[in-house]
Amino acid sequence: MYAESGVVTTEHTPPEPVKWHPYAQCFPTVLGDDLKALERDISAAFGGVQQPIVKIGNLILDGRARYGIARSMLIDYPVVQYDGSDPLMDVIRWNLASRFDRMTAGQIAVTAKALCKLEPSRTDDIMQAFGLEVSEAAQ
């Protein structure tokens, strides 16, 4: 049903209904001007979705907004099955690279806390990735 890990394919419709990966759900949804900018970047005039949506099976690990926009525009989009070894740290790295400068301190803290709740044994790693003190996870 899915291509091998790391192989980029193109979808117009997923082979089965997708869901958001729990790690991805911890990050704020792209809204407002950021969403409009992403829609412009993805529009057919600019060549569609350039960065693949990263999935683990039918769970979207990265690219929820790109997926939603492509589906609403009825255009094909690239998809790749995750081929890394640490989806938690990868989803943090990808999201911070693309939106850290647009997240408030409160959003960063809430996101880190939500991830710590999902993976309590990785609290130190999570907090370090966000540049926060471990004590902030308890607040």
| Dist. CA 67–CA 139, nearest whole Å | 33
**Range of 37-41, 69-73, 128-132 with top mean pLDDT:** 128-132
Report the share of the chain in percent with pLDDT over 70.
Answer: 89
pLDDT at 11: 93
Residue 122 pLDDT: 97
Complete edge-to-edge strand list for the sheet that includes strand 59-62:
8-11, 77-81, 53-56, 59-62, 19-20
Q: What is the DSSP-derived secondary structure letter of residue 29?
A: P
Residue 9 lies in a domain: yes
Beta strands in 7-127 (DSSP E): 8-11, 19-20, 53-56, 59-62, 77-81
Residue 117 lies in a domain: no
Q: What is the pLDDT of the chain when averaged over all its residues?
A: 88
Question: What pLDDT, on a 0 to 100 scale, did the predictor assign at position 139?
Answer: 55
Which is more confidently placed, 128 or 136?
128
Residue 66 lies in a domain: yes
pLDDT tens sequence across 64-111: 988 988 988 888 999 999 999 999 999 999 999 987 777 889 999 999
User: Is residue 74 one of the residues assigned to a domain?
Assistant: yes
| Beta carbons of 49 and 64 less than 8 angstroms apart | no
Q: Based on the structure, what is the number of domains in the chain?
A: 1
**Contact at 8 Å (CB) between 118 and 22?**
yes
Q: Is residue 73 part of a domain?
A: yes
Whether 64 is in a domain gets the answer yes
Higher pLDDT, 95 or 36: 95
Domain that holds residue 3: 1-84
